[in-house]
Structure 1
């Protein structure tokens, strides 16, 4: 089990991009529709000096998620916190959703991999709506469970989708850039609005670069954040927001001269050439969205010879960049490897409890005297049951 866990952690940190889903750099302008310059916030990444964790975070809280035999989620693909419950979905390893309360008490699990009417073959995305749990299956189906994880019904979609969200009773689906005729005059649509009752589909954003040679799964690319629906894809420097019946640019990440070469996204290039370009240009920067946030915060990620997290405090207009492997100089604990979700001003990371125990052991080897926050971390680790599968860590922003 330990080797599997280590492999999962390493695989989450290694830069292995094996697909192409959209354009970047100047090509993002091709998708600009009617957005005025006043509406677009250009974020100059090169002008932001990466910060230390202690420059951004002033406190870290820990919660052990208690052992239960029905828990099977170890690789964390998506986390939602809704109405006092933590929903943790492992799409591929455990193929299971585990639900906990905020104190770490196990509530229930959905473990339904398979091909039956109440089962999911391969999970693409999930959301919580009015306490119902809605799962997007790779077969182009929605599978809906009630607030206790009991199957209610499934709905067949007229298209295959990779991600989804829900706005005022209508669904928004990202088609994964699979060719379709959902756009105007039969053009392919990248984001489509769909009503389950009327079966009406309206294209919100057409595909301008349809290359998607692999089925690598993006995470948190279509999200409702602070009452606004945002959308972005790998390699596209633009983050769109939904306005009326379309998506228009809201933020553009400017990597200036450090962006990928201009010819990276030449439509004449073969898929084989496209796949290798990022690995051949590891010193170059490009957007790899992981959209999180709330009314006052927006988070996303980018690659630049490592994985970096952009934290944009929209209320105070403060932009911060953190490398995901930056040393935890707040309490000596784990770096902020992943941002799985945001709760108020806490960035939430869910991680295997073994890593918290290992880090505590190393901290005690590194020094013999500890400050108050370091001691609090060590006290938590010493009280951690070896049976606890996961730890929820809350990094509180200043």
Structure 2
């Protein structure tokens, strides 16, 4: 099979001249877009996926290399804490996804505890779903979950869906005619991310990456055909599909494009430009093993790539990229400002913990759920580092004093300026 390096050869030479990455330029071509150094204008074409300057949002290029990492205090002005009550039914060890919906907090540990726990906003435990197994009411390897009007839906491996009521009681399960890695509701339908594997879910039998599907009628519409295969086998991604109001967003790792749903299809909304410092195209050749790919990344940590995982609110979009370690990219929709935070940037707001992951973006609050041991450990370190504390540092220490080793989790909210 022709290598990706060969396929992109001409694009690479053109991109070098323009100082734009090949995959960035390709994304524009795939959607009928012309690039100039300043403006993005639509070209005439017949594709339904085309973006026009008059009936869709502008595509915005984000020059990632030009964004200098910020201090936490540059983007966060306050931090608040909530102790999530311990309960024996809850057995989470590592939280994979958090949803805040209608006054409740839903946390799910997919891999270790395999437990979904529900809390009120003050941290009071409500109930848990802990059903690992292979029965009709059990899940084997959870890919995603959602909450719809208080009811909980779980997407399991192999296209199995499980439905639970508002109190966590099992209702039913179904088997989808396809496998999916992520899903969200869109009216009476669902959007499913069906991955980069070959399928016939697209128009004219083409492979489709995101579909809209109705459980009752079985009607299937392809909203984004697979346009590149920059997905490494064995990768496990989360937070690929997001909704805020009537806006829908989609992104995957190693693809520098963040899509939004426009005119019934997913089209580019943001393109992360890594210039010439991104991962080289040849490393994505199908003949390159996962081990070789990981080894290349290890030997070239300075190379940029999109790590995906998106969180969206009406005010902000947050995603991740890697270059000498992971970074959070924070985009302000209203101000169109961009900020970058290093993965483990020192917390200079209250001396507490950094932001390792963005579990959910709740309005202007980045929500992170920590094991209480990390909070207690950081509080102990802070007390050794200094003798006098600011008001915010003392608030962090006071919260830590309410925890003990038997405490379950701590929910921390970082309020964006």
Instruction: Quote the offset at 1:268 in angstroms.
Output: 6.5
Cα contact 2:233–2:290 (8 A) shared by 1: no
> What SS does the corresponding residue of 1:251 show, helix, strand or coil?
strand
> What SS does the corresponding residue of 2:347 show, helix, strand or coil?
coil
What do the CA deviations read for 1:130-167 (whole angstroms, capped 9, x no partner)? 11101001021111111111111112101011111111
Moved more, 266-275 or 353-362: 266-275
Of residues 210, 213, 222, the one that matches 1:203 is 222
> What SS does the corresponding residue of 1:290 show, helix, strand or coil?
coil
Please state if 1:59 is matched with 2:75: no
- Normalised to the residue count of structure 1, the TM-score between the two structures is 0.90
270 and 386 in structure 1: CA distance in 2 versus 1, 3 angstrom threshold: closer
1:130-209 matches, within 5 Å, as 130-209=149-228
Of residues 25, 29, 50, the one that matches 1:34 is 50
Instruction: Quote the offset at 1:270 in angstroms.
Output: 5.9
Instruction: Quote the offset at 1:209 in angstroms.
Output: 2.9
What is the rounded CA distance, in whole Å, between the counterparts of 1:170 and 1:370 in structure 2?
52
What is the rounded CA distance, in whole Å, between the counterparts of 1:241 and 1:284 in structure 2?
26
- Partner of residue 312, structure 2: 293
Structure showing greater Rg: 2
112 and 24 in structure 1: CA distance in 2 versus 1, 3 angstrom threshold: farther
226 and 288 in structure 1: CA distance in 2 versus 1, 3 angstrom threshold: farther
Of residues 123, 146, 149, the one that matches 1:104 is 123
- Partner of residue 341, structure 2: 322
154 and 35 in structure 1: CA distance in 2 versus 1, 3 angstrom threshold: same
- Normalised to the residue count of structure 2, the TM-score between the two structures is 0.86
Please state if 1:88 is matched with 2:107: yes
> What SS does the corresponding residue of 1:396 show, helix, strand or coil?
strand
Moved more, 26-35 or 348-357: 26-35
What is the rounded CA distance, in whole Å, between the counterparts of 1:323 and 1:275 in structure 2?
21
Instruction: Quote the offset at 1:197 in angstroms.
Output: 0.8
Q: CA RMSD in A?
A: 1.8
Cα contact 2:314–2:363 (8 A) shared by 1: no
Aligned length: 376
> What SS does the corresponding residue of 2:51 show, helix, strand or coil?
coil
391 and 211 in structure 1: CA distance in 2 versus 1, 3 angstrom threshold: same
Instruction: Quote the offset at 1:354 in angstroms.
Output: 0.4
Please state if 1:390 is matched with 2:409: yes
Instruction: Quote the offset at 1:386 in angstroms.
Output: 2.8
Where does the alignment leave 5 or more consecutive residues of structure 1 unmatched? Answer: 1-22
* Greater RCO (Cα-Cα under 8 Å, separation 6 or more): 1
